[in-house]
Structure 1
Amino acid sequence: MALNSCAQKVIINREIDTPEYGKMLLGNQSLDQFQKEPYKAWYDENYTIYPIDKTALEGLKKEKINSYNIIVFLGTWCGDSKRNFPRLIKILEETKFPESKLQIIGVNRQKQAPDGEEVKYNITHVPTIILEKYGKEIGRITEEPETGFIEKDLLNIIKK
């Protein structure tokens, strides 16, 4: 008796090239996609220039941010995403956050991902950084951090 698998194949690193907006990443992405052009230029610049708040960073380590899952919705065409996504990654690297617990989802200009993940998470703006624990959302940062620092907002979410 043959068993049919219902597992859906997840396509990662999907990139499209539009006449109007150029290249953009859609759907699930790996971090190494941001080391390819045209993304590398803005990614590296915003990663390098961001001064991490060391006190908040130590707080994230103490509060065990690595025990959470993080889902990021971003638009590679969006100024806020280009600025805040590299900052988030710099923070996560400093906390030794496991890449396996990070999901990066690219959306188009209508905030839609190819597999419809934006519907489940009610995405209306990008970037949206979602913290989950045991499969439940415990908080999110939408577009800009309230404190002006992603690491401070993440710490505030965890400490709620």
Structure 2
Amino acid sequence: MKKILLTLLTLTALNSCVTTNQITKIPVGKMQQVELLNHYEIFSAGYKSYTLSVEQSNIVKAWPENVSIDIYFGTWCHDSQREVPKLLKALQVNSKIKTTLIALDGHKTDPLGLAKNNAVKFTPTFVIFINNQEIGRIVERPKVNLIADIDEIIKLKQ
């Protein structure tokens, strides 16, 4: 009986050591695009592999300069890993569109409380503004695609 108990305790201790070694720090708070793409390969790969059609590029170029987008995401979130690089790449054709990247932890929180103040409950959440007034959101995944959905939101509010 003592051998069984000792074996179980040893296995439990070994398992907790392995788990501890696998924990990585999750970034939270405002983040620069270059930091995201340089330190998170899955985001960088998605960014590099995404290509815009000529039509999509023309749509993004036509967005007014008073549009800005807050991007709430998790580096750990598969939806964020899929959608955030696409939007960042698309916005390269219109440098007038301001973006703010806000990384969240697994509880969808950040140190400044931005997610809580803006009622963000899912990742990614793209909050679209015109003249600093929220005009719409895309939560988790777009209906059609990010460009088409954002374009529809902008056109409805102009």
Task: Report what 1:73 is aligned to.
Answer: 72
Task: Report what 2:104 is aligned to.
Answer: 107
Task: Give ranges in structure 2 of 5+ residues lacking alignment.
Answer: 1-19
What displacement does 1:83 show?
Answer: 1.1
TM-score (norm 2): 0.78
More strand by share: 1
The number of aligned residues is 137
TM-score (norm 1): 0.77
Computed over aligned residues only, the root mean square deviation of the Cα atoms, in angstroms, reads 1.8
Question: What amino acid is the match of 1:23?
Answer: K
Task: Report what 1:84 is aligned to.
Answer: 83
Q: Distance in 2 between matches of 1:143 and 1:21?
A: 25
Q: Distance in 1 between matches of 2:21 and 2:130?
A: 40
Q: Distance in 2 between matches of 1:63 and 1:94?
A: 10
Q: Distance in 2 between matches of 1:130 and 1:120?
A: 13
Q: Contact between 2:27 and 2:103, CA under 8 Å: does it hold in 1?
A: yes
What displacement does 1:68 show?
Answer: 0.9
Task: Report what 1:49 is aligned to.
Answer: 49
Q: SS where residue 125 of structure 1 aligns?
A: coil
Q: SS where residue 27 of structure 2 aligns?
A: strand
Q: Distance in 2 between matches of 1:119 and 1:47?
A: 28
Change (3 A) 1:23 1:106: same
Question: What amino acid is the match of 1:159?
Answer: K
Say which of 134, 140, 145 aligns to 1:143.
Answer: 140
Report Cα offsets for 1:42-67 as digits up to 9, x if no partner.
11211122232432331232232x32
What displacement does 1:33 show?
Answer: 1.0
Q: SS where residue 111 of structure 2 aligns?
A: coil
- Matched-pair identity in %: 27
Report Cα offsets for 1:106-136 as digits up to 9, x if no partner.
1100101111101221101101111111221
Task: Give ranges in structure 1 of 5+ residues lacking alignment.
Answer: 1-17
Q: Contact between 1:60 and 1:154, CA under 8 Å: does it hold in 2?
A: no
Q: SS where residue 115 of structure 1 aligns?
A: coil
More helix by share: 2
Q: Distance in 2 between matches of 1:19 and 1:145?
A: 36
The ranges of structure 1 where at least 4 consecutive aligned residues each deviate by more than 3 angstroms after the TM superposition are 18-21
Q: Which moved more, 1:73-82 or 1:47-56?
A: 47-56
